[in-house]
A = this chain, B = another copy of it.
Amino acid sequence: MELRHIRYFLAVAEERHFTRAAQRLGIGQPPLSHQIKDLEREVGTPLFHRIPQGAELTEAGRAFEAGVRQIPGLVGEAVVAAQRAAAGETGRIRVGFTGSAAFNPRVPQAIRIYRRRFPDVELSLAEHNSIGLVEGLKNGSLDAAFLRPDAVDKQGLRLFHLADEPLIAALASARMPHGEPIRLEQLAEDAFILTPRALGPTLFDATLEACRRAGFEAILGQSAPQVASVLALVAAELGVALVPESMRDASFRGVTYHDLTGNAPKVALALATRNDEQAATVAAFVAEARFPSEAEPG
């Protein structure tokens, strides 16, 4: 049995007339009669009473109709669902981000607007360090990741550059007035709080390189796994830290931020995907992150 038989059967059942049903189907009456007969042979029983005025359903025909009536609609819905999924309007996307990337306003904004434009896409978020993000992309547990790209393994990944952020100094509040710029050399005697290089090499390398360019070798203090804990250690006066500028929006009790004078070191913010990524959901997400749409409603 094929969908054709079902469509033809339903047409005859509705028209109660072979000739009219054939016209509606755009075929001749003889092939329609033939197909219905094939169907009846396969089901094993007549589905129509042929009467002089046309045809009417047998009891078996009524039972069959009740069973197959919805099928053409189901097929159509399945096609539409597939097309919507292909257009990235349904499905899912798993997005990762590093602790520091989450504070750049472009990251939450991209997520917010994407969810608004594609409300039927199931979006899940996960915070990891850079190494974990790259691993997640490669093993398929993540589809896209906001990260600091400079020092990660780019093999098999596609990186979309989103922003360059100057680093700023995070000091314990007692050190100097809030907001006042600072020269990096002033921190030559301070311990630097850093995340372990194995977890997130970019900020680690950028900090040491900046100090080197300022004429001194940074003193390494405590290490902390995430940006938030770095700031906690700074607040506890265990040392100082260089953080991306966007961290300024996240005020942290006991920590003051200070621009670095001179040409401040910069770290990049990028969005990474697998370079063989094909999902339309991911493509749409990348597009939104790279080229934010005009404005958010409301």
Contact = CB atoms under 8 A, between A and B. Distances in A.
B79 A74 contact: no
A3 interface: yes
Contacts of A58: 85-86, 278-279
B63 A67 contact: no
Sorted nearest first, the 3 A-B pairs with minimum C-beta distance are A67-B78, A45-B86, A63-B85
A126 interface: no
26 contacts: A1-B75, A2-B2, A2-B3, A43-B83, A44-B83, A45-B86, A58-B86, A58-B278, A59-B279, A59-B280, A59-B281, A60-B82, A61-B82, A62-B85, A63-B78, A64-B82, A64-B85, A66-B78, A66-B81, A67-B74, A67-B79, A68-B75, A68-B78, A70-B74, A71-B71, A74-B74
A59 B85 contact: yes
A68 B281 CA distance: 22
A153 interface: no
Interface string A1-30: 111101000000000000000000000000
A49, A58, A60, A90 — which one has the most chain B CB atoms within 10 A of its CB? A60
Nearest to A49: B278
B64 A78 contact: yes
A67 B78 CA distance: 4
A67 B1 CA distance: 19
A100 to B, nearest CB: 31
Interface string A176-217: 000000000000000000000000000000000000000000
Interface residues of A, number: 41
Given A1-B75, A86-B44, A86-B45, A64 B91 contact: no
Nearest to A68: B78
Contacts of A3: 1-3, 6
A86 B91 CA distance: 44
Contact of A77 (B67, B79, B82, B85): B67
Contacts of A154: none
B45 A67 contact: no
Taking each of A43, A90, A280, which has the highest tally of chain B beta carbons within 10 Å of its own beta carbon? Answer: A43
Contacts of A43: 79, 82-83
A290 to B, nearest CB: 21
